[in-house]
Amino acid sequence: MIALILGGEKSGKSDFALEYLLAAPEPRLFVATGKALDPAFRAQIQRHRQERPTDIPVAEAGADLASVLSAAKGRYACVLVDALDFWLFACRQSPDPDGHVRALLACLDSWGESDIFLVSAEIGLGPIAATSETRAFVRALGELNRAVAKRADKAWLVAAGLPLQLK
């Protein structure tokens, strides 16, 4: 099963996804995509590490998330990817961001029987971004979220800690 969990910043989407991972049978894998580029984000990553059980392995994925997931395919009962927005930001710094997205979508197209939960930000609900660079990222993330949602068996939007099932 492929599941997409969307939400705004601090909406509770990661906590909601983590509940599914913790309830899943072993073996389980947590895939982290965020890179600590500033002190506040480093602190947030550290808090997330402390909230996760130490017995669940963590794979840190850079722009090549598809390779990490391909290696995990069939080896784990449940995989949690947190989060696609951080991953897409990393991809946009690479020479071929569209190639990374295509590789991820191809990996999902052949995912198989194990469960995968993909967390992503829903950032298209706010005002129009002030800069062209930010608008391009919002557009790219919206396209990625739609492509993943199309492939997903289930999807939720989390707001104020409350999940609303979309699919």
Residues forming the active site: 48
Residue 10, marked binder: yes
Residue 50, marked binder: yes
What DSSP line would sit under 139-155, residue for residue?
A: HHHHHHHHHHHHH-SEE
Residue 13, marked binder: yes
Residue 71, marked binder: no
- What pairs with residue 162 in β-bridges? 159
Residue 9, marked binder: yes
What DSSP line would sit under 101-130, residue for residue?
A: HHHHHHHHHT--SSEEEEEEE--TTSPPPS
CA count, 13 A, side-chain hemisphere, 103: 16
Residue 154, marked binder: no
CA distance 39 to 57: 24
CA distance 125 to 15: 21
Residue 74, marked binder: no
Residue 75, marked binder: no
Binding residues: 7-14, 32-34, 49-52, 60, 82
Annotated binding site for GTP: 7-14, 32-34, 49-52, 60, 82
